[in-house]
Structures are given as C-alpha cells and as structure tokens.
Amino acid sequence: MKIETHGGFYISQIKQLSSRIFEKLLKDNDIEEFNGPQGRILFVLWQKENLSISELGEKTSLAKTTLTSMLDRMADQGHIQRNPDSKDRRQIRITLTEKAKSLKNSYDAVTIQMNELFYEGFSDEEITRFDNMLAKVLNNLKQYKE
C-alpha cells in the first residue's frame, strides 16, 4: 500500500460533524429526552434488550468505563434499569423502561433526516457498497483488538 490515504482523518471529521448535526436535528425535532451518544446506546438496546455491560460495549465499541457513567445518567433520566443476572452475580443486565421504548420512533425519524444529508448524491448501490466497506474496516479493527 504505497498510495496516499486519508481515511482516518476523514473518519474523525465525519464523526465530529455528524455528531454535531445529529444533536442539532434532535433539538430541531424537539427531542429533549436523549442526546446523540445516548441514542447510540438506545439504538442497540432497541434491537436486543437484557444485554450485559460488556456486551453493550462490544456492540457500541465503547469502553466499559465509558458505559458505566453513561448508564448512570441514563438511569437517572429513567431510560434504563440495571438488573442483576440470576446466574452470574458479577454481571448486570440492562433493560429499557417504557419511556425509552417509546422514543424509538422519534429517533428513527431523525436518522432518516440524517441519512438524507449524509448520503446526498449517492445512489442506492453506492450506499450499499460504501456501507459494506465501512463494515469491512470495522471488522478489521475489531480483529485487532485481541
């Protein structure tokens, strides 16, 4: 690989800008209940509840120390609950409150707005190809972790 690449530099910037824009869209849509980073955690829990904190970490790629404090805030705000695991007393299972479940639709609406902007000028085929490449990079990085 001798060519010049800027992937990492682009990714950082895209992350920065999309986070700020997402935050703004939440505000524009009068969604005050959660913010972008919390949305990422909810996104995972809406798909599958009752995850342990470590599992949540794998699915979000966040460190578990990050999750501890975020889950603290989300519990304070009435979005999640910490439940002891019945079999392994080291583990904690995270479940959603009804309040949190009811927010999924608002989140989805904002995601659609976000995607329109994000993928402006992309054909459906290009989006698919791009998504696959991102998944591949993500997989490369996950491999490295061990």
Partner DNA sequence: ATAGAATAGTACTATATAGAACTATACGTC
Partner DNA sequence: GACGTATAGTTCTATATAGTACTATTCTAT
Kindly tell me which residue out of 19, 81, 95, 106 binds DNA, with binding defined by CB under 7 A.
Answer: 19
Q: Considering the complex, what minimum distance in angstroms separates the CB of residue 146 from its own copies? A: 12
Q: Which is nearer to DNA, 88 or 126 (CB)?
A: 88
Q: Provide CB contacts within 8 A for 118, sequence distance 6+.
A: 18
Q: With contact defined as beta carbons under 8 Å apart, do 79 and 104 qualify?
A: no
Residues lying near its own copies in the complex (CB under 8 A) are found at 1-3, 5-22, 40, 43, 60-63, 111, 114-122, 124, 126-131, 133-138, 140-145
d(CA 57, CA 124): 30
DSSP assignments along 48-88, one per residue: S-SEEHHHHHHHHT--HHHHHHHHHHHHHTTSEEEEE-SS-
Contacting residue, 31, 44, 52, 95, with DNA by CB under 7 A = 52
Site residues (CB under 7 A) for DNA? 12, 16, 19-20, 23-24, 35, 37-38, 40, 52-54, 61-73, 82, 85, 87-93
